[in-house]
Amino acid sequence: MTAINTKCSVGSKRFALLALIPLLSACTVEVDPGPSRPPPRPWPPQQQMCTMEYAPVCGERGGRLQTFGNACQARNSGFMIVGRGECRRAPPPFARPDPDRPGRPGWPDRPDKPDRPERPGGICTREYAPVCGQRGRQTQTFPNPCEAGNAGFRIISGGECRF
């Protein structure tokens, strides 16, 4: 009879274990993390790689305005973009048209005119659109019309100069 009791006790243990499995599988643990906050942002902000695209923007930081080559460069420097194009404090003064040059006030191309102003150098893009320029008897190829104008040359044709 002892053997029968042993078999019954092993069978009852198995039954009890099988009965507990569904009960234990229904149990879950819930952890309350408290108030949820987003993870902290890295400081200083990570620098972003910017293209060399020239699309000027005006940025502002602490009341100071600064012109940047593009929006990415402005954001990387910690500036908020406040406008497209170069920063201007006041609009440029209106120039009265020259009667000799109605389309280009203040910039005569005639070398015989004594009050001809010097052309200021400006910032040009690195665009390659070659032009042939002439100043007096000198001709020269420039990478783009802006570079030719900054050097004081008049564009005489598109493309490289043919000598």
Domain annotation covers residue 43? no
User: Could you count the other beta carbons within 10 Å of the beta carbon of residue 65?
Assistant: 15
Domain annotation covers residue 55? yes
- What residues form DSSP beta bridges with 141? 132
Residue for token pair 């293209």 = 51
Structure confidence by residue, pLDDT tens digits, 74-111: 988 889 999 888 888 654 444 444 455 444 444 444 44
Q: Domain range spanning residue 58?
A: 48-89
Q: Which of 62, 89, 116 is the last residue of a domain?
A: 89
Q: What is the pLDDT of residue 90?
A: 54
pTM: 0.31
The CATH number linked to 161 is 3.30.60.30
Residues 128, 144 contacting (CB under 8 angstroms): yes
Domain annotation covers residue 163? yes
Q: What is the pLDDT of residue 51?
A: 86
In which band, very low, low, confident or very high, does the pLDDT at 16 lie, cut at 50, 70 and 90? confident
Q: What is the pLDDT of residue 8?
A: 53
Domain annotation covers residue 137? yes
